[in-house]
């Protein structure tokens, strides 16, 4: 489960929106990612107080698919650690939180009219070292693909 969460985070956060992995891992990852994108799709077009509550619920459900957490604070490094009232400085959000934000802000909008099939698996052949079958798993309708269509 941890491996799938890491791979899903990498796929969603990747600039090129694809990752290279073995075919078995790609086939396991596909339904995992498709479920979370469906959650983001459901959040599109919700309005009013009930809509906001529903979106928060969907975001929390989607966060289960990533290693996510809120931003944390660390106590400023000093000679006297743990002193009450010491200044805290924010640490950058985790990759999982960024993935959920990107999922709901970009990918949910992109796939709002699509009823499934958000990913594609392309076989690459065998890896030289251990002869494992390799594949690329990518999100369909990505910017690179749309630019090539012109």
Question: Could you tell me the two tokens for 112?
Answer: 């709002």
Dig out the tokens for 67 from the structure: 């290693």
Q: What is the pLDDT of residue 67?
A: 79
Q: Which tens digits make up the pLDDT trace of 22-56?
A: 999 999 999 999 999 999 999 988 888 888 899 99
DSSP code of residue 17: S
Phi, psi for 95 (deg, rounded to 5): -65, -30
What is the pLDDT, as a whole number, of residue 82?
A: 53
Q: Which domains does the chain have, with CATH numbers?
A: 2-149 (3.90.1030.10)
Predicted TM-score (pTM) above 0.75: yes
Report residues of the chain scoring pLDDT below 70.
68-93
The whole-chain average pLDDT of the chain stands at: 85
Identify the pLDDT of residue 80: 47
Give the span between the Cα atoms of 68 and 61, in whole angstroms: 11
Q: Residue 99: is it exposed, middle or buried by C-beta count within 10 angstroms (0-12/13-18/19+)?
A: buried
- State the Cα–Cα distance between residues 114 and 108, nearest whole angstrom: 10
d(CA 31, CA 15): 21
Residue 123 pLDDT: 97
């Amino acid at each position: 489960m941890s491996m799938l969460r890491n791979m899903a985070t990498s796929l969603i956060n990747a600039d090129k929106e694809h990752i290279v992995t073995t075919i078995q891992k790609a086939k396991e990852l596909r339904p995992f990612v498709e479920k979370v994108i469906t959650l983001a799709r459901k959040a599109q077009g919700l309005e009013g107080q009930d809509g906001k509550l529903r979106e928060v619920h969907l975001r929390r459900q989607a966060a289960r698919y990533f290693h996510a957490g809120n931003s944390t604070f660390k106590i400023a490094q000093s000679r006297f650690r743990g002193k009450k009232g010491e200044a805290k400085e924010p640490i950058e959000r985790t990759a999982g939180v960024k993935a959920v934000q990107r999922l709901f802000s970009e990918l949910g909008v992109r796939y709002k009219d699509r009823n499934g099939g958000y990913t594609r698996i392309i076989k690459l052949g065998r890896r030289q070292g251990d002869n494992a079958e390799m594949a690329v798993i990518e999100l369909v309708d990505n910017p690179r693909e749309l630019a090539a269509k012109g």
